[in-house]
Structure 1
Amino acid sequence: MEQERPDTEDALVALIERVQKTGYHFTTVTPASHARVNGRPDAAWARDLRDILGWTRPFHEEIVAPELLAAMRCARVVEPVDGGLRATIRLSSLDGELFLHSAYPPSPMDAVFFGPDTKRFVSAVTAHLAERKAPIRRAVDIGAGSGAAGIAVAKRAKGAEVLLVDINPAALRAGRINARAAGVGNIVLQQSNLLREVEGHFDLIVSNPPFMIDRSGRTYRHGGGAYGEGLSLAVVEAAAERLAPGGSLVLFTGSVIVHGEDLFCDAALAVCAQAGLQVTYREFDPDAYSEELDDPAYAVADRIALVVLTATRPA
């Protein structure tokens, strides 16, 4: 997304609120599924608002209510294409809110990603919050992207300071806009590589870091390390240093299983054991993103599992 002026951000918040009032709802799928659905013969042009702001299909302006099209233009989120127009953002539904993120395909280096893993991640975070008894005074969402998880925390821990941290300025803009649209005021935005530019300790750290091997090196997707686990392990290491007594890390990530071994699990548990953290680790989904296994980078991989690691420092 392009650099936003303050007045453009106001217009984007107003647009989200206007779209919300229409009853709009959209569940974002993976890019692979998105490509398949948009490749159907009847999907060449948008027929409704979901096609425009969800599926990123080109549209003819007469299918949009004039006041809504004016709001889109005011927010600077439409661009001309051959024979019509195209939205430059998407809006996705989660936790009773609409979240602004990058249009399809999310190919720019600074794309703000939102997909099925966002929903899974927020589900893991809210489940932890429902079980947690200790108060949250300070929380951080590392690699916050659209801010969905941090905003979910801020809605449920209204007295807490909740930081949205990301290395990507475009993600921080999206997080700020989404927080405003959700009506949460206890959000602080900070550009940072992990927690390097952030001080202090936290009662709750949540993160859904990139975990793929991405040859383009896109910020939202490339995890680094041998199999994409580098950033996930770095989050565990940061949490081991910065969790307050009684504080917890909720990490949702992917782990490449090689010859039956979960190498990320072994490394993460070793870090937690050294720091004296109590850990639970489970496979959320044993086999995800199977199309990635065709990449030579995964030549020895059995599968890519989605996992949830929760680590807690004793009070």
Structure 2
Amino acid sequence: MQLSAEQRAADLALLQLGRRLRADGYRFTCVTPATQAHNNARPEAQQAHSLRDVFGWNRPFAEQLLCADQLKQMEVAAILNREGPWLRSNVRWSSLDDMLLLHSGFPTQETDAVFFGPDSYRFAQVIHDHLQHRYQPVQHAVDIGCGNGIGALLIAQAARHAQVTAVDINPKALRYTAINAALAGVANLSIEHSDILDGISGNFDLIVANPPYMLDARERTYRHGGGALGAALSLRILEQAIQRLSAGGTLLLYTGVAIVDGRDCLLEACRTTLQGQQWQWHYRELDPDVFGEQLLEPGYDQVERIAAVALSVTCNPGTDSADERTM
């Protein structure tokens, strides 16, 4: 990924800001947009009083709240917005275990916004659980639609010898992933622009993905899953990723499903796609009801609920290789 001199300077400033926040002991747990809006609507939250208010809750702040060096870095990074007498950051930092992760400011209205939130924490737990119980070491892994890179970073930290690739169609996501990797001190991570795995060579013993799964009228990259009720991208990833699994390799897909009249369209697709002895798979609901406010949006008239689900698909050893399956 080629960056201009201006972009490189901006990304270095973001990295330095992240390092300063970590050194200051900054931590913030990112919440849903609805919870963020509720907290920020409280009378006492109309102005930032701490670093968490500035870079977590994303509240307007007075210039004197930050030191001159921090303000200068924000200006170089082009993340400092002026709103009358107030300033506001257009990025946030959130924490997960010992990692500090850069992502887009609130609200995430831009078409190229880089999302991080409760889905990211659930996705991380799915990866962590898999790595804890995996007997075969990870050698070659990829995070499809990496966003701010959380999936790739978790794998790269847990398997320092592995070759880990983070791919996304959003250039800003790739930039933020690179910054987060540098902040985490991860060296075994490569970053590539790709639609799913287009242009990415080789097979993988671990593929992870946390795709968008909503119908979004503005078709924002981080949110819009396309097709029937936002399921199209999840289905494309399932169909394409299993063709790139090595024998014994696993796909971990964390996503959401719109449940209509008690039916789960993704589960039905899995039963069709994953027939035969070649695959060992497991599907479960992690949360039966997420983003309930989405049911008020156009296209969701018949949707009962949106469930967060996790799919694990393993290519059984001894079956045809991934290369043979793609011939």
TM tier, smaller: over 0.9
Identity rate of aligned residues, in percent? 45
Structure 1 distance, partners of 2:36, 2:78, is: 24
Distance (Å, rounded) in 1 between the aligned partners of 2:20 and 2:47 = 23
* Residue pairs, 1:73-88, within 5 angstroms: 73-88=75-90
User: What is the aligned counterpart of 1:312 among 307, 311, 314?
Assistant: 314
Report the secondary structure of 1:236's partner residue: helix
- What is the DSSP-based 3-state SS (H/G/I as helix, E as strand, rest coil) of the residue aligned with 2:299? helix
AA partner of residue 173 (structure 1):
R
Alignment partner, residue 260 of structure 1: 262
Moved more, 185-194 or 269-278: 269-278
Q: Which residue of 2 aligns with 1:277?
A: 279
Cα contact 1:95–1:152 (8 A) shared by 2: no
Aligned length, in residue pairs: 314
Q: Would the aligned equivalents of 2:9 and 2:76 in 1 still touch at CA under 8 Å?
A: no
Q: Contact conserved, 2:48 with 2:60, CA < 8 A, in 1?
A: yes
The 3-state SS of whatever aligns with 2:275 is: helix
Q: Does 1:230 align with 2:232?
A: yes
CA displacement 1:249-288 (0-9 Å, x = unmatched): 1111001111111111110232122582110010000111
Q: Does 1:119 align with 2:121?
A: yes
What is the alpha-carbon distance in structure 2 between the residues aligned to residue 133 and residue 238 of structure 1?
A: 25
Is the CA contact 1:166–1:172 (under 8 Å) kept in the aligned structure 2?
Answer: yes
| 1:301 Cα deviation from its structure 2 partner | 1.3
Partner of 1:179: 181
Secondary structure at the residue paired with 1:280?
Answer: strand
Gap regions ≥5 residues in structure 2? 318-327
Q: Bigger CA drift: 61-70 or 234-243? A: 61-70
1:167-203 per-residue CA deviation (whole Å, 9 max, x = no partner) reads: 0000000001100110001111111111112111101
For 1:6, the equivalent position in structure 2 comes to: 8
Q: Deviations 1:141-173 (Å, cap 9, x if unpaired)? A: 000000011101000011111111000000000
Residue 170 of structure 1: which of 166, 172, 191 is its match?
A: 172
Structure 1 position 132 matched with structure 2 position 109: no
1:59 equivalent in structure 2: 61
Q: Which runs of 4+ in 1 moved over 4 A?
A: none
Counterpart CA distance in 1 for 2:295 and 2:72 is 44
Show the counterpart of 2:325.
Answer: none
Q: Secondary structure of 2:157's partner?
A: helix
Q: Give the match for residue 148 of structure 2.
A: 146
Structure 2 matches for 1:197-208, cutoff 5 A?
Answer: 197-208=199-210
1:161 aligns with 2:172: no
Give distance in 1, aligned partners of 2:253 and 2:198.
Answer: 18
Tell me the TM-score normalized by structure 1: 0.96
Q: Is the CA contact 1:240–1:272 (under 8 Å) kept in the aligned structure 2?
A: no
Look up the SS of the partner of 2:224 in the other structure. coil
Asked if residue 291 in structure 1 is aligned to residue 293 in structure 2, the reply is yes
| Cα distance in structure 2, aligned partners of 1:65 and 1:269 | 57
Distance 1:95 1:142 in 2: 22
Counterpart residue type for residue 123 of structure 1? Q
**What residue is the counterpart of 1:194 in the other structure?**
196
- Structure 1: 5+ residue runs without aligned partners? none
Post-superposition shift, 1:311?
0.4
Q: Partners in 1 of 2:78 and 2:110 — Cα distance?
A: 18
Q: Residue type of the partner of 1:59? A: F
Checking the alignment, whether the CA contact within 8 Å between 1:269 and 1:279 is kept in structure 2 is: no
Q: Deviations over 1:81-133 (max 9, x none)?
A: 11121112100101311111111110000000111100110111011001001
Q: What amino acid is aligned across from residue 269 of structure 2 in structure 1?
A: A
Moved more, 64-73 or 183-192: 64-73
Paired residue type of 1:295: E
Checking the alignment, whether the CA contact within 8 Å between 1:252 and 1:309 is kept in structure 2 is yes
Q: Secondary structure at the residue paired with 2:112?
A: coil
CA distance in 2, matches of 1:222, 1:278: 29
Against the structure 1 CA distance between its residues 237 and 55, is the aligned structure 2 distance closer, same or farther, given a 3 Å change threshold? same
CA distance in structure 2 between the partners assigned to 1:65 and 1:263 by the alignment: 52
Distance change >3 Å, CA 140–CA 194, structure 1 → 2 = same
CA distance, structure 1, for counterparts of residue 251 and residue 45 of structure 2: 42
The amino acid that maps onto 2:187 is G
User: How many Å separate the matches in 1 of 2:94 and 2:270?
Assistant: 32
State the distance in 2 between where 1:79 and 1:109 align.
18
| TM score, norm. by length of structure 2 | 0.93
Q: State the secondary structure of the residue aligned to 1:297.
A: coil
